[in-house]
Structure 1
Amino acid sequence: MRLFNPDCYAIITANGEQIDLSAVSASTQRRLDVSFNCFLTKDSEPNEGECTYYNLSEATRNKIVKDARIEFYAGYDGEFKLVSVGDITTVKSRKPNTDWSTTIKWGDGVKKYTDVNFRKSYTEGIQLKDILSDLISSLGLSSQGVIEELSQKINGGLSVNGKTKDILNKITKDYGLEWSIQDEIVSLVQKSKPIDDDLILISQSTGLLEFPQVSEKGVDFITQLNNDIRPNKLVDIQSSNSFELRVKDEKIASSANGIRIVETVRFIGNNFGGDFVAMANCRAYNG
């Protein structure tokens, strides 16, 4: 199955004002030309996004500033879903010829990730989930994943002082957990486990564009843009190809097919006739 009429747009909130770039021109029946490249990972480093708008008005260009919030949407046939959201880190406008281009870069939760500090002492008997809840609350973000399941008590007392991100990195590593910020929500999972049990089918019938590639780093695939493909989500790859990968005569994989966990995904596209894809890397999942 192939999807048609890809389109995309951004909504930016700067200094309390919403800049809605989703409008369709009455004369052209099109939105403003824009390209995008968004990279999402399961690591704790913030996800990154970038888009370039063409021929924004001077008034609009002047309103888009660093630290503003951006939401970027993409979809087909007028049905849009969020691709990426974050705090704007840089804005650059230039006019190399007759047209203006404005490139906007952002990070998902990057301002809070970078700036927020945390200091607190805990007495013996405190549960792990309570410490993690305090840390996440200090970021001003909600959470998803396994936090309510973490009822184990820590050994002895605990005093923490420093950047919230650094404390989260240490505690999650010590207890076999992984954390990241996904769409301004802290995602907390057991190491090597998915965020939920939902399966996303990846096949020629759902938009798979090329045969998946198998390497020592896992499986890479390219599909028509599917916003549901996110880090720590489960995908079920069903490709018509079958092969065997060997490294030094040791079989690494017999096929790309099967249930896997998404490690990273890159969304690339534009609304004026180019690519509109998701490029994902994933690894085997054994349940």
Structure 2
Amino acid sequence: MYWIRQIEVLAGQKKFTNLGENGLEIEFDVPFNDKKEPDVSSVTIYNLSDATINDIKKDDYLYLNVGYKGLNNLSNILTGEIEEANTDWQGLDKATKITVSDGGKKWRTAELNKTYKAGTKASQIMQDLADVLSYEVVEIKPKNDKVYKLGKTIKGKASKSLSQLVDDTESKMFINKNRLVIRGQKEGYQTGFVLNAKTGLIGIPTLNKDESGDKTEDVAKEKDKKKNKETKKTWKVQCLLNPKIETDSIIKVESKAVNGTFRVISGKYGHDFTMELEVEV
């Protein structure tokens, strides 16, 4: 079931695939995490014609779908805007590397200038900022939905204002496939997925230990981090690529080293069809 790997790229008004008589060699490196800044990924397609390369233009959208043919689970792992496309020769092969950001252009350029009346909630302002940034909203449920009793003025870069509101409400924010999520630090998606040797777990998970002064991130204010004495522990997990596992997925891990339920903090989809995950309890 896992041996026929299927890759599909939609870009430049064309579809490219790795299977079939016209199949192409396609590589990808797609990171994801629960930080505010949009992720930047790369997709490399080999031996395209010059005319096709010219059709792949900056600011156009690129969609990357992957899966296993035997499982019929082709799913999207990347939706984003093309930042640039560069072509060079690697031996006898012509490699076109396409750099893609997940909502990066709007993040850098969109602005909102608006004054809100007394009693406005942070979540209301967040929604307006999400609209300006053109992000699909999955969830806007800040941990502490602050009420601005004297009103609030938003001015300038929408991304900067949104980041500040996230901090004000002691929340986290991330963008995934042009979708915006704002919620409490420890919250995530219940997937029901069990990761073990039979379902794609590779090797044994290893413990990462953060011995910095910041300790855990789930604290009320940035300045209070050093007062937080609980050491932050995360686990590094490697598995076969599963397009359904993404930022904030809640998964169960079963192994000789550790058994339990974890939240995915970050990870990377690799073109060798493996994933590297960082997870925490």
Question: TM-score, length-normalised on structure 1?
Answer: 0.84
Identity %: 21
CA-atom RMSD, angstroms? 1.9
Matched, 1:175 2:169: yes
Contact 1:210-1:222 within 8 A present in 2 as well: yes
| Runs of 4+ residues over 4 Å off in structure 1 | 148-152
State the 1:59 CA deviation. 1.0
Contact 2:247-2:266 within 8 A present in 1 as well: yes
Which runs of 5 or more structure 2 residues have no equivalent in the other structure? Answer: 211-233
Q: Return the letter of the residue paired with 1:227.
A: P
Counterparts in 2 of 1:112-131, with a 5 A limit?
112-131=106-125
Q: Return the letter of the residue paired with 1:7.
A: Q
Q: Which residue of 2 aligns with 1:22?
A: 17
Contact 2:107-2:158 within 8 A present in 1 as well: yes
State the 1:149 CA deviation. 8.9
Contact 1:132-1:147 within 8 A present in 2 as well: no
CA distance in 2, matches of 1:120, 1:152: 18
Aligned residue-pair number: 256
Query: 1:89 is paired with a residue of what secondary structure?
Result: strand
Q: Return the letter of the residue paired with 1:40.
A: F
2:260 corresponds to which of 253, 258, 263: 258
Question: TM-score, length-normalised on structure 2?
Answer: 0.85
Query: 1:95 is paired with a residue of what secondary structure?
Result: strand
Q: Return the letter of the residue paired with 2:101.
A: G
Which runs of 5 or more structure 1 residues have no equivalent in the other structure? Answer: 243-255, 270-274
CA distance in 2, matches of 1:6, 1:23: 8
2:56 corresponds to which of 64, 72, 81: 64
CA distance in 2, matches of 1:234, 1:20: 32
State the 1:92 CA deviation. 0.8
CA distance in 2, matches of 1:150, 1:185: 21
Q: Return the letter of the residue paired with 2:122.
A: L
Matched, 1:202 2:201: no
CA distance in 2, matches of 1:79, 1:199: 17
CA distance in 2, matches of 1:209, 1:151: 40
CA distance in 1, matches of 2:27, 2:149: 51
Contact 1:39-1:266 within 8 A present in 2 as well: yes
Counterparts in 2 of 1:178-197, with a 5 A limit?
178-194=172-188, 196-197=189-190
